Chain A
Amino acid sequence: AQSVTQLDSHVSVSEGTPVLLRCNYSSSYSPSLFWYVQHPNKGLQLLLKYTSAATLVKGINGFEAEFKKSETSFHLTKPSAHMSDAAEYFCVVSDLGGYNKLIFGAGTRLAVHP
């Protein structure tokens, strides 16, 4: 069965410093992986997706993620944090059963301090 583990429930950074949100996945096949962001009291927005093309995926707002099959990881990074990046981030894998069934990690709450 597919699963996703987000290694940090909370991450705190200073504005202008790099962001690293860690995600490991478990899948018996080549997965599709996603990062979604949820700002307070809002719905979810797709940041980026990996679908077996380039292993380094660029998303919106300067975020990117690298698919590493050997490490079963899909960590999210950004070179320089902005105050507006404060939100909850979800690493997501698509279910083997298809039909766009998504399996979510527990989430990482990112705090950005001035």
Chain B
Amino acid sequence: NAGVTQTPKFQVLKTGQSMTLQCAQDMNHEYMSWYRQDPGMGLRLIHYSVGAGITDQGEVPNGYNVSRSTTEDFPLRLLSAAPSQTSVYFCASSIGTSGGGYNEQFFGPGTRLTVL
């Protein structure tokens, strides 16, 4: 049971390039989400999904796209990278989607992205 995995661990992009950050979980979790972590700001929610085929925006969605074609995978796409997207990105998953956040979210190890 690998939990939540993310690839790559590190990535350097030039402004305007596109790329996809991969996230996968093997726990059959319904809920998956992407956060970015910036110094002094904690984690902020980018996009989330409550199940295959269903996604929605979080707090900071601009510049990012997501899709959820399977339960296991939830990739995050940067269409045209900008220096403001330099950050550490975390994927998380949890067992259900009950209101109030009762279900523990499990986090991946993160992807450190630098945009030059």
Measured CB to CB, the residues of A under 8 A from B are: 4, 9, 32, 34, 42-46, 49, 51, 90, 94-95, 97-102, 104-107
B9-52 CB contacts (< 8 Å) to partner A: 31, 33, 35, 40-45, 48, 50
Q: A107 to B96: give the CA distance in the assembly, Å.
A: 26
- Sample of 20 further A-B pairs with CB below 8 A, known A32-B101, A45-B107, A105-B42: A4-B42, A9-B40, A32-B100, A32-B102, A44-B90, A44-B107, A46-B104, A90-B43, A97-B99, A98-B97, A99-B50, A99-B97, A99-B99, A100-B33, A100-B48, A100-B101, A101-B101, A104-B35, A107-B40, A107-B42
Give chain B's interface secondary structure class.
loop
Please name all residues of chain A whose beta carbon is closer than 8 Å to the beta carbon of B100 when the two chains form the complex: 32, 51, 94, 98
Q: A44 to B109: give the CA distance in the assembly, Å.
A: 8
